[in-house]
Amino acid sequence: MVTPKLYVLPELPYGYKDLEPHISEEQLRIHHDKHHLAYVNGANAILEKLDKARKDSADLDMKSTLKELSFHIGGHLLHSLFWGNLAPAGKGGGMPGGTIGDVIAKEFGGPDRFRKEFTQAATSAEGSGWAALTFCRKTNRPIIMQVEKHNTNVYPMFKILMVIDVWEHAYYLDYKNERAKFVEAFWNIVNWEEVNKRLEGL
């Protein structure tokens, strides 16, 4: 039985203090409980608007509705991926191992070059955006991608393995306007085990 449902804000897979000092409790609470929730609510509101319009046989501005829907669903799913590819301080970071370590070594020549390219993708995202590590099943190659706002300019078949949120709301309390410091701190809490699981789960 396939029953339509609404989106739900996922709980974090760790405590609010667990990413400190790299991401503070206050920053994480606002980011998860306010910003992420807003995308969940925004997506659900549009789904309900679509339901209502269909019931009433009413016309909708499809272009703006779908754009807004993409923004909110993208926001919800990217944040869900983001929380999952972070690990408590002391348990994350380090070098990628397993299949992901192998893939990164083959494509980039090693983790240092990958880290450099991904950092540059994150720090140079214009305005509000994301950097993502994706994987192409056709070529077995990882490709770094930039996301504008929450509208994933995704290659449709590529699997997203790892993301970083570089919207200012992700770091302003901890790092003010210094995105590069936040991106640097991110490397200490990457959950490589999860990134590897996403890759192997292809």
Q: Does 186 bind Mn ion (CB under 5 A)?
A: no
In terms of Cβ atoms closer than 10 Å to its own Cβ (0-12, 13-18, 19+), residue 130 is buried
Find the shortest distance in angstroms from Cβ 13 to Mn ion. Answer: 17
Nearer to Mn ion by C-beta: 104 or 122? 122
By C-beta, is 43 or 170 nearer to Mn ion? Answer: 170
Which residues partner with 162 through β-bridges? 133
In angstroms, what is the minimal distance from the CB of 165 to Mn ion? 4
Q: How far is the CB of 84 from Mn ion (least distance, A)?
A: 14
Neighbours of 20 (CB within 10 A): 17
Q: Whole-number minimum distance, CB 37 to Mn ion, in Å?
A: 11
Q: What distances in angstroms separate CA 143 from CA 7, 118, 131, 175, one per listed residue?
A: 28, 10, 11, 28
> Does 39 interact with Mn ion (rule: CB under 5 A)?
no
Q: Which of 14, 167, 175, 186 binds Mn ion (CB under 5 A)?
A: 167
- Applying CB under 5 A, the site for Mn ion has a residue count of 4
List the strands of the sheet with 129-136, edge to edge.
Answer: 141-148, 129-136, 159-165
Region 7-36 residues binding Mn ion, contact defined as CB under 5 A:
35
Examine residue 165 and tell whether it contacts Mn ion (CB under 5 A). Answer: yes
Residue 133 and residue 160 in contact, taking contact as beta carbons nearer than 8 Å: yes
Binding site for Mn ion (CB under 5 A): 35, 165, 167, 170
